[in-house]
Amino acid sequence: MGATATVVVNSFIPYYERTGDWPALAWWIHDHLPYSSLYFFPKLAAFNIQWHENPVRRIDSYVKPRGCLTKPGMDNHAGDHGEFYRGMLGELWVV
């Protein structure tokens, strides 16, 4: 059993349009949410997020750099990826 949703994070759009840094959001999701797969699209940094009872934990994109950002077995799959989204968080969640 699984589910899929297409998501646009409105507060992320200005950052994405200025930087093109969709991987920042992808890595944040990877480190914080129980997803199965993510697929990013160029328009509005929209992405499909899929949940499954047997999650794959794979991120792909139609946005440059296209292809697979991470999947099980890749060197970059495990661990903390905070270095990739720290700047994004500083801009999106200003206190």
Residues 6 or more apart whose Cβ sits within 8 Å of residue 70: 30, 57, 58, 59, 76, 77
Structural domain total, the chain = 1
Stretch 58-75: mean pLDDT? 96
Q: 8-64: per-residue pLDDT in tens?
A: 999 999 999 999 999 999 999 999 999 999 999 999 999 999 999 999 999 999 999
Residue 89 within a domain: no
How many angstroms separate the most distant Cα atoms in the chain?
A: 39
Q: What is the pLDDT of residue 1?
A: 82
95 has a pLDDT exceeding 60: no
Instruction: State the pLDDT confidence band at 92, using cuts at 50, 70 and 90.
Output: confident
Residue 57 within a domain: yes
- Domain range for 16 is 2-67
pTM equals 0.93
Residue 52 within a domain: yes
Fill in the amino acid letter for 87.
Answer: G
Kindly report the CA angle at 62 between 57 and 66, in degrees rounded to 5?
A: 80
Distance CA 28, CA 12 (A): 12
